[in-house]
């Protein structure tokens, strides 16, 4: 990145142009986030210190972060942080990066609780299937203090990270973390829930190669690949989930908008559920499907 005595302002400008030429999304934002991360300051402080010169070590460190971004590594894995529900979660390549759309699962859970639409009169029992970094379960634990929460994932590494996040956000004692494939760990536990929610793998296997390099080459395929038409896990949760719900309990599933019609049909055909509906995301696409067990 050229000669010495680069200021924050100069470095941001030249890096933004460079990232733009290399077709990196949000080049200015990327340049700012990575420089703030390198200097261990808040992004706003870059603007307060525009004329500050940087030393060789800071420039070399920044250069290595930019190289990782040029390799299409997601910015969240480079910084190790993703924000969700106004909290910072530690993330890494062992877990999917939480998306803003998944906040719908948290919102709907809180609504069901506040509207007293859950079968449990107190201390609702909630299961987050495929918890990843724990963002959904932890957000709900922070919002619903009398909820009993279970969070499971097939990946031990994901569960370890989720536990770390739960301690960081002060709810480590409130969530039971379990390693296992879907409902397998609960088969002999005689456990039923008031809400089962999940953001399962829902990318169709045939579509996997057409994903962006950030997703395809860096995020865990296990957390993305939903097999044929992306419906394998959605169907499994709909069909088997009813066995683990109290009557009057709810299932909430995030998916691709194109899958919601099929999912609602499966819900109807299963005969386990009464009320069912899709929920729109912030772009006005159907994103979550919810249904109440009869």
How many other CB atoms sit within 10 Å of the CB of residue 257?
15
- Residue 5's pLDDT band, with cuts at 50, 70 and 90, is confident
- Domain residue ranges of the chain, discontinuous segments joined by +: 8-71, 84-293
CA 69 to chain centre: 20
- Residue 1's pLDDT band, with cuts at 50, 70 and 90, is very low
* In the predicted structure, residue 153 carries a pLDDT above the cut 60: yes
Q: How many residues does the chain have?
A: 294
Q: What is the pLDDT of residue 190?
A: 87
Q: What is the pLDDT of residues 34-56, one digit of tens each?
A: 999 999 999 999 999 999 999 99
| d(C-alpha 34, C-alpha 68), whole Å | 10
User: For the chain, what percent of residues have pLDDT higher than 70?
Assistant: 98
- Contact between 86 and 24 (Cβ < 8 Å): no
pTM, to two decimals: 0.92
Superfamily of domain 84-293: Vaccinia Virus protein VP39 (3.40.50.150)
Ranges of beta strands (E only) in 70-218 are 81-84, 87-90, 125-129, 148-153, 175-179, 193-198
| d(C-alpha 155, C-alpha 216), whole Å | 18
| d(C-alpha 68, C-alpha 220), whole Å | 17
262-289: average pLDDT? 97
228-242: average pLDDT? 96
Q: What is the pLDDT of residues 123-134, one digit of tens each?
A: 899 999 999 999
Q: What is the pLDDT of residue 4?
A: 57
- Contact between 272 and 294 (Cβ < 8 Å): yes
Cα-based distances in Å from 276 to 180, 268, 286, 289: 28, 8, 13, 7
User: For the chain, what percent of residues have pLDDT higher than 90?
Assistant: 96
Q: What is the pLDDT of residue 32?
A: 98
Q: What is the pLDDT of residues 159-217, one digit of tens each?
A: 999 999 999 999 999 999 999 999 999 998 889 999 999 999 999 999 999 999 999 99
- Nearest 10 degrees: CA dihedral of 36, 37, 40, 42? 40
Alpha carbons within 13 angstroms on the beta-carbon side of residue 26 total 7
Alpha carbons within 13 angstroms on the beta-carbon side of residue 284 total 0
Q: What is the pLDDT of residue 121?
A: 63
- Contact between 199 and 130 (Cβ < 8 Å): yes
- Residue 122's pLDDT band, with cuts at 50, 70 and 90, is confident
Using CB atoms within 10 Å of the CB of residue 271, give its burial: 0 to 12 exposed, 13 to 18 middle, 19+ buried: exposed
* In the predicted structure, residue 2 carries a pLDDT above the cut 50: no
Of 87, 74, 86, 78, whose CA–CA distance to 36 is shortest? 78
Q: What is the pLDDT of residues 132-150, one digit of tens each?
A: 999 999 999 999 999 999 9
Q: What is the pLDDT of residues 58-89, one digit of tens each?
A: 999 999 999 999 999 999 999 999 999 999 99
């Amino acid at each position: 990145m050229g000669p010495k005595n680069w200021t924050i302002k100069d470095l941001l400008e030249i890096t933004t142009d460079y990232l733009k030429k290399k077709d990196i999304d949000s080049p200015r934002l990327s340049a700012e986030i990575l420089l703030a991360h390198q200097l261990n300051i808040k992004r706003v402080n870059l603007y307060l210190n525009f004329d500050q010169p940087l030393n060789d070590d800071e420039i070399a460190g920044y250069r290595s972060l930019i190289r990782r971004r040029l390799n299409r590594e997601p910015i969240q894995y480079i910084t190790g942080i993703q924000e969700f529900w106004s909290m910072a979660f530690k993330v890494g390549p062992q877990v999917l990066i939480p998306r803003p759309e998944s906040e719908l699962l948290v919102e709907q859970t809180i609504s069901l609780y506040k509207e007293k639409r859950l079968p449990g009169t107190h201390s609702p029992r909630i299961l987050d299937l495929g918890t990843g970094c724990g963002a959904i379960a932890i957000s709900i634990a922070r919002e619903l203090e009398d909820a009993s929460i279970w969070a499971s994932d097939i990946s031990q590494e994901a569960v370890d990270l989720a536990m770390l996040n739960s301690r960081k956000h002060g709810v480590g004692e409130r969530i039971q973390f379990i390693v296992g494939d879907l409902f397998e760990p609960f088969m002999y536990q005689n456990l039923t829930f008031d809400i089962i929610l999940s953001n399962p793998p829902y990318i169709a296997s045939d579509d996997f190669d057409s994903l962006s390099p950030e997703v395809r080459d860096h995020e865990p395929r296990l957390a993305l690949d939903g097999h044929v038409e992306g419906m394998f896990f959605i169907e499994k949760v709909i069909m088997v989930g009813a066995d683990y719900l109290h009557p009057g309990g709810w299932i909430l599933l995030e998916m691709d908008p194109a899958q919601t019609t099929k999912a609602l049909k499966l819900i109807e055909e299963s005969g386990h559920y009464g009320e069912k509906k899709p929920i729109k995301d912030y772009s006005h696409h159907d994103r979550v499907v919810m249904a109440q067990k009869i």
